[in-house]
């Protein structure tokens, strides 16, 4: 058996991501994570501190990466919404972790990186509005919240009216992108 602390850490994080995404903090089992990572449970405590710290590490790795990896293009918000929509489909764990986080930890403790990424996006939207390239009907933070919120509508993890039928997802995607287009388009009523 080769010994590689970095690889063990990585396996633990990966196993923890699956476990936490599926069951949340309270529902996750440390023993299950260790078993899935083919590592000893004590290593979790040695590398990450405790269960909650492990969750934070996983949350940071997945959610912060997602937020930072989908850059905004304030001149093409429908395209941004589409990319976010697709990312959520491809990596559903990030949204689930974010939901668990907000339910189990309260909404007060967002990582600084997420806050910073958001502020940068608000600034980008504000700049595009000032330049007259997109609608200034809404304040920039509100417009961003609309786009972000609409992009979540494809996720099966929100208790909303869920998409139906074989091409329900494609329909939903079109709905979201078109909505963003309408809401961000200049003029009209």
Where does this chain bind a copy of itself (CB under 8 A)? 23-27, 95-96, 98-104, 107, 118, 137-139, 141-142, 144-146, 148-150, 152-153, 156-164, 171-172, 175, 178-179, 182-183, 185, 188-189
Which of the choices DNA, a copy of itself, none does residue 93 contact, using the CB cut-off of 5 to 8 A by kind? none
Q: How far is the CB of 79 from a copy of itself (least distance, A)?
A: 18
Query: Could you tell me the smallest distance in angstroms from the CB atom of residue 116 to a copy of itself?
Result: 13
If contact means CB under 5 to 8 A according to the sort of partner, which of a copy of itself, DNA, none does residue 148 touch? Answer: a copy of itself
Q: Which is nearer to DNA, 45 or 138 (CB)?
A: 45
Answer whether 149's CB lies under 8 Å from 84's CB. Answer: no
Question: Strand, coil or helix: what is 90?
Answer: helix
Residues that bind DNA (CB under 7 A): 1-5, 7-8, 28-31, 39-43, 45-46, 50-52
Structure tokens at 73: 């293009």
- Compare residues 12 and 183 and give the one whose CB is closer to a copy of itself: 183
43 binds, among a copy of itself, DNA, none (CB under 5 to 8 A by kind): DNA
Which tokens in the block code for residue 26? Answer: 């309270």
Closer to a copy of itself by Cβ: residue 5 or 185? 185
Q: Which residues contact 135 (CB under 8 A, 6 or more apart)?
A: 129, 143, 183, 184, 185, 186, 187
Q: 39: which 2 tokens?
A: 């590592």
Residues in CB range of 172: below 8 A, 6 or more apart: 153, 154, 163
What's the closest the beta carbon of residue 66 comes to a copy of itself, in angstroms? 11
Min dist. Cβ of residue 40 to a copy of itself (A) = 24
Sign of CA dihedral 168, 173, 178, 180: positive
Comparison of 5 and 164: residue with beta carbon closer to DNA: 5
Close Cβ partners of 132 (under 8 Å, ≥ 6 residues apart): 186
**Contacted entry of DNA, a copy of itself, none for residue 170, CB cut-off 5 to 8 Å set by kind:** none
Residue 112: how many other CB atoms lie within 10 Å: 8
Q: At what angle do helices 92-104 and 5-27 cross, to 10 degrees?
A: 60
């Amino acid at each position: 058996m080769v010994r590689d602390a970095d690889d063990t850490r990585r396996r633990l994080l990966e196993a923890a991501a699956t476990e936490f995404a599926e069951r949340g903090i309270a529902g996750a089992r440390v023993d299950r994570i260790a078993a899935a990572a083919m590592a000893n449970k004590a290593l979790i405590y040695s590398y990450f501190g405790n269960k909650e710290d492990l969750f934070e590490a996983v949350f940071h790795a997945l959610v912060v990466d997602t937020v930072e990896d989908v850059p905004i293009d304030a001149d093409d918000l429908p395209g941004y919404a589409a990319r976010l929509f697709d990312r959520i489909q491809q990596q559903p764990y990030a949204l689930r972790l974010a939901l668990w986080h907000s339910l189990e930890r309260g909404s007060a403790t967002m990582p600084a990186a997420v806050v910073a990424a958001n502020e940068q996006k608000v600034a980008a939207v504000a700049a595009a509005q000032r330049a007259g390239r997109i609608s200034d009907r809404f304040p920039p933070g509100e417009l961003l919240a609309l786009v972000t919120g609409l992009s979540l509508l494809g996720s099966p993890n929100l208790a909303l009216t869920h998409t139906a039928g074989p091409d329900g997802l494609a329909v939903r995607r079109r709905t979201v992108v078109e909505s963003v287009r309408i809401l961000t388009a200049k003029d009209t009523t």
